[in-house]
């Protein structure tokens, strides 16, 4: 088996547009694992919502969460890799909201915290299956243990202007910028410096004793760029970002067409 380990993005890749695992993808993952292959996930999601997918597929490997800021083994809840924003970076992100009130969630210690439960936050929470910790509010968030900060837009052209304005304000308050990525055209994320799915995939592969050339990665958006680039075989979904397709070794059918299953069965 040329590719011993498959790591797949979740939303827009393994899941269809209703955020469900298609039956064909489920079967193909099971067949690959039955043949001796290893399968895991790399997602921007947190433990709570990744756990449901992990259980549905009966996975047993550690998962890459928060777009690479954390790797956790859900069998025993053991964290094997984790990075946080500095307290100064997190505090600056919160302060910049006074100039640009973007809808935002701070993720810390497996909880989501938002200063304002806007319609954009509600839509994101419903999609991901989480409810930010509103009862505690921002007063309870540990700003020294923030894995990522997510900003949710309206999914229109105004998002680019709003995010650009926010980032200008943020940079004034925080010259030591962390990693910044657009995980979707309506999402902007702030991550710890050096964090991305690519570095996390490399770490997990080493942890499992597998060469990166023996890893196949599936993804659909810019937060998948580094892992698609680093993997022995990077697969972009047919519904994916054009920039991802340009660097991928292979373009799969769309997520609505069980593209992950199509590649597993054809090439593995």
pTM given for the model: 0.93
Helix axes 259-267, 23-34, angle to 10 degrees: 30
Range list of H helices, the chain: 23-34, 47-56, 87-95, 119-128, 158-173, 197-207, 225-230, 242-247, 259-267
For strands 146-152 and 187-191, give the pairing: antiparallel
For the stretch 83-125, pLDDT in tens is 999 999 999 999 999 998 899 999 999 889 999 889 999 888 8
Q: Give the confidence band of 170 by pLDDT, cuts at 50, 70, 90.
A: very high
Q: d(Cα 71, Cα 42) in Å, to the nearest integer?
A: 9
In the chain, domain spans: 5-82+195-267, 87-191
Backbone angles phi, psi at 94, to 5 degrees: -70, -40
Q: Which of 264, 266, 268, 252 is nearest to 28 (CA)?
A: 264
For 5-82+195-267, give the CATH class. Answer: alpha beta
Task: Read off the pLDDT of each residue in 228-257 and give the average, rounded to a whole number.
Answer: 97
Class of the domain covering 87-191: alpha beta
| Whether the domain at 5-82+195-267 and the domain at 87-191 fall into the same CATH topology | no
């Amino acid at each position: 088996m040329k590719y011993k380990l498959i790591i797949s993005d979740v939303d827009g890749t393994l899941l269809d547009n209703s955020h469900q695992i298609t039956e064909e993808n489920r079967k193909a993952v099971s067949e690959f694992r039955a043949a001796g292959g290893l399968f895991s996930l790399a997602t921007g999601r947190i433990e709570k919502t990744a756990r449901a997918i992990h259980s549905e597929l009966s996975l047993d490997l550690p998962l890459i969460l928060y777009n690479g800021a954390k790797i956790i083994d859900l069998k025993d809840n053991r964290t094997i890799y984790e990075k946080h924003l500095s307290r100064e970076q997190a505090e600056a992100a919160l302060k910049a909201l006074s100039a640009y009130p973007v809808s935002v969630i701070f993720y810390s210690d497996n909880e989501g915290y938002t200063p304002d439960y806007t319609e954009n936050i509600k839509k994101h929470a419903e999609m991901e299956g989480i409810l930010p910790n509103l009862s505690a509010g921002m007063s309870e968030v540990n700003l020294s243990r923030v894995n990522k900060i997510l900003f949710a837009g309206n999914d229109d052209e105004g998002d680019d202007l709003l995010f650009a304005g926010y980032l200008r304000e943020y940079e004034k308050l925080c010259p030591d910028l962390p990693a910044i990525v657009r995980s979707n055209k309506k999402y902007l994320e702030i991550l710890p410096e050096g964090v991305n799915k690519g570095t996390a995939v490399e770490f997990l592969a080493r942890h499992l004793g597998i060469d990166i050339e023996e890893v196949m990665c599936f993804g659909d958006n810019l937060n998948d760029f580094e892992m698609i680039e680093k993997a022995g075989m990077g697969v972009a979904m047919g519904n994916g970002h054009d920039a991802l397709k340009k660097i991928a070794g292979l373009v799969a059918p769309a997520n609505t067409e069980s593209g992950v299953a199509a590649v597993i069965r054809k090439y593995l």
